[in-house]
A and B are shown apart, each in its own frame.
Chain A
Amino acid sequence: EIVLTQSPDFQSVTPKERVIITCRASQSIGGSLHWYQQKPGQSPKLLMKYVSQSLSGDPSRFSGSGSGTDFTLTINGLEAEDVATYYCHQSSSLPYTFGQGTKLEIK
């Protein structure tokens, strides 16, 4: 099983701050890495597919990068609506796995 380890687990951030969330895989997963955003009380929502492909309609302040085992999700200029838990997910091999989540809150 491929283990995904996110860091940090939790971050308190000020509005407009740049946030970087990392996701490290226990073995290479190529580019089969996706990011989800789960706001409090809501279902997860796809945020980024295949490392860096954002969804149409999503704010451009979100970007993704990485390959192999190390990946990052960057939020350039955090806004209050970005308060959520973010999960990475690998679909390279079964069983599909998720990172443990990174919870962001506004200071």
Chain B
Amino acid sequence: QVELVESGGGVVQPGRSLRLSCAASGFTFRSYAMNWVRQAPGKGLEWVAFMSYDGRKEHYADSVKGRFTISRDNSNDTLYLQMNSLRVDDTAVYYCVRGFTEFGWFDPWGLGTLVTVSS
């Protein structure tokens, strides 16, 4: 079955960096767009970043533009999110989500990995 498993979350101080990974299985990873979506504790969903199936297109939310970088390794079925200059308000569960084309729905969602930015 289709599965997305995130890893790399943890506690980090403001201003530091963290890299999240998402291991995909059960589908042809290189054929699908991928996204990161986050959810702050007790809050709603916020889209963070998009990458096209071939890695040629990337889009970011204004809140992370210039600090976060999405990338993918289609030979290893893995999606990444490099997060630099982390801020306290980046604290959230980060979900790896498959996208149906650049302007379609999100399905499925991974279990998420918690990133806590705190001094």
Query: How long is the Cα–Cα vector from A60 to B1 in the complex, in angstroms?
Result: 23
Query: How long is the Cα–Cα vector from A32 to B102 in the complex, in angstroms?
Result: 12
Complex interface bits, A49-84 against B, C-beta within 8 A gives 1, otherwise 0: 110000000000000000000000000000000000
Known: A44-B95, A94-B59, A96-B47. Contact between A89 and B103, CB under 8 A? Answer: no
B80 at interface by CB-CB < 8 Å: no
In the complex, the answer to whether B108 meets A46 with C-beta atoms within 8 Å is: yes
Sorting the interface of chain B by its residue count into under 10, 10 to 19, 20 to 34 or 35 or more gives 20 to 34
Known: A95-B59, A96-B50. Contact between A43 and B103, CB under 8 A? Answer: no
A45 at interface by CB-CB < 8 Å: yes
Chain A interface residue count, CB cutoff 8 Å, equals: 22
Query: How long is the Cα–Cα vector from A32 to B112 in the complex, in angstroms?
Result: 25
Chain A residues, CB < 8 A from B110:
43
In the complex, the answer to whether A89 meets B106 with C-beta atoms within 8 Å is: yes
Chain B residues, CB < 8 A from A11:
none
In the complex, the answer to whether B45 meets A87 with C-beta atoms within 8 Å is: yes
Chain B residues, CB < 8 A from A36:
45, 106
Complex interface bits, A1-44 against B, C-beta within 8 A gives 1, otherwise 0: 00000000000000000000000000000001010100000011
Query: How long is the Cα–Cα vector from A50 to B100 in the complex, in angstroms?
Result: 11
In the complex, the answer to whether B61 meets A43 with C-beta atoms within 8 Å is: no
Known: A44-B95, A95-B62, A100-B44. Contact between A34 and B109, CB under 8 A? Answer: no
In the complex, the answer to whether B109 meets A43 with C-beta atoms within 8 Å is: yes
B interface residues, Cβ below 8 angstroms from A: 35, 44-47, 50, 59, 61-62, 95, 100, 103-112
Q: What 6 A-B pairs are tightest by C-beta distance, nearest first?
A: A46-B107, A43-B109, A96-B47, A34-B105, A49-B105, A98-B45
A interface residues, Cβ below 8 angstroms from B: 32, 34, 36, 43-46, 49-50, 87, 89, 91-101
